[in-house]
Amino acid sequence: MAQNTNILDYFNLFWFAVLPYVALFTFLLVTIQRYTRRGFTYSSLSSQFLENKIHFWGLVPFHYGILTILFGHLLGFLIPRQVLLWNSDPLRLHILEVTAFIGGIFTLVGLVNIVIRRLVDPRAKVVTSTADWVVLSILLFQIGTGLFVAIFNSWGSSWFAASITPYFWSLLAFSPDIAFVTPMPMLVKLHIISAYFLILLFPFTRLVHVLVIPNPYLWRKPQLVRWYWDRKKIRTPGFKAKRK
């Protein structure tokens, strides 16, 4: 009996105190290495050109959904107190939960369409790599477990802020306190572990497109010109003449 708990402890330690670091450091190192050494491979790898009908019904709901959800997780992580405060009113709690759930459904529907598209369209198949299937499977698992958690262990926005957020912060402080997660139901654990796998595989897959979302566009001037000549050098003769 005692031995059993021991093994379980090791398991927990591995999944919740070792894996996150492996994932995070791989993510950081490989992403930077890939950006600086193989920058050419950063692309959205769009396949809209090859299949433009199901595309809309897959990519659009998926992205709007997942961005909403990610933003929600981020809020729970960064400002847990405010989230808890917000949730103290049942109506507001319901608004938050329902929004999140709709986001999840959008994501799922989009993802299912993406998968179907890649299964049935002969042209989309051509640009579907093993890595794509790995990413899509984990995402499907991630969203599936997420939705189940929302159904069976409801009010996640509150308990996430209360017990998962401290766990994440303990990870970031390099003193992982897995006591927060070990008592969690299996579904939640699976959801967390699969998230670590996503982060781990992230830099090796097309997911890197998330990191190169265009931001300066909104502020830059429309036209861009690059010079290879040293224009000052060309100007210099005139410059000297003026000085004389």
Partner 1 sequence: MVFHLDKCIGCHTCSIACKNIWTDRKGTEYMWWNNVETKPGTGYPTRWEDQDKYQGGWEKRNGKLGLRSTGKGRVVFNLFHNPHQPGLDDYYEPWTYKYEDLFNAPEGNDQPTARPISMVTGKHIDIEAGPNWDDDLSGSPVYAENDPNLSALSPEQRAQLSAIERLVFFYFPRICNHCLNPACVASCPSGALYKRGEDGVVLIDQKRCRGWRSCVAACPYKKSYYNWNTGKSEKCILCFPRIETGQAPACFHSCVGRIRYLGVLLYDADRIDEIAGRPDNELVDAHRELIVDPNDPAIIKAARENGIQDDVIRSAQKSPVYKFVKEWKIALPPHIEFRTLPMLFYVPPMLPVMSSFDGKTVKNMTEGLFPDFDKARAPIEYLGKLFGAGNNSKVRYVLKKQMAIRTYRRAVTVGDVEMEHAEHMLREADCTVAEAEAIYKLTSLCTFEDRFVIPPAHREEAIEMTADPLEYKQSVGFGFKEEVKRGL
Report the sign of the C-alpha dihedral through residues 113, 114, 118, 119, in that order.
Answer: negative
Q: Under the criterion CB under 8 A, does residue 63 sit at the interface with partner 1?
A: yes
Which distant-in-sequence residues (6+ apart) come within 8 Å of 168 by Cβ?
A: 77
- Which amino acid is present at 131? A
Q: Which of 18, 21, 25, 41 binds partner 1 (CB under 8 A)?
A: 41
Of partner 1, ligand HEM, none, which one sits near residue 134, judging by CB under 5 to 8 A according to partner kind? partner 1
Q: Would you tell me which residues interact with ligand HEM (CB under 6 A)?
A: 44, 46-48, 59, 63, 66-67, 70, 114, 118, 132, 135-136, 139, 207, 209-210, 213
Report the sign of the C-alpha dihedral through residues 172, 108, 51, 133, in that order.
Answer: positive
Pattern 189-218, partner 1, x by CB under 8 A:
---------------xxx--x--xxx-xxx
CB 69 within 8 A of CB 114: no
CB of 69 vs partner 1, minimal distance in Å: 15
Would you say how long the chain is, in residues? 244
Which distant-in-sequence residues (6+ apart) come within 8 Å of 180 by Cβ?
A: 163, 164, 166, 167, 170
Residue whose CB is less far from ligand HEM, 72 or 176? 72
Residue whose CB is less far from ligand HEM, 75 or 207? 207
Of partner 1, ligand HEM, none, which one sits near residue 66, judging by CB under 5 to 8 A according to partner kind? ligand HEM
CB of 221 vs partner 1, minimal distance in Å: 9
Token pair for 98: 């329902």
Token pair for 101: 């759930």
Tell me the C-alpha distance between 210 and 77, whole Å: 19
Residue whose CB is less far from ligand HEM, 97 or 132? 132
CB 107 within 8 A of CB 66: yes
Residues that bind partner 1 in the complex, under the rule CB under 8 A: 38-52, 55-56, 59-60, 62-64, 122-123, 125-127, 129-132, 134-135, 204-206, 209, 212-214, 216-218, 220, 222-232, 234-235, 238
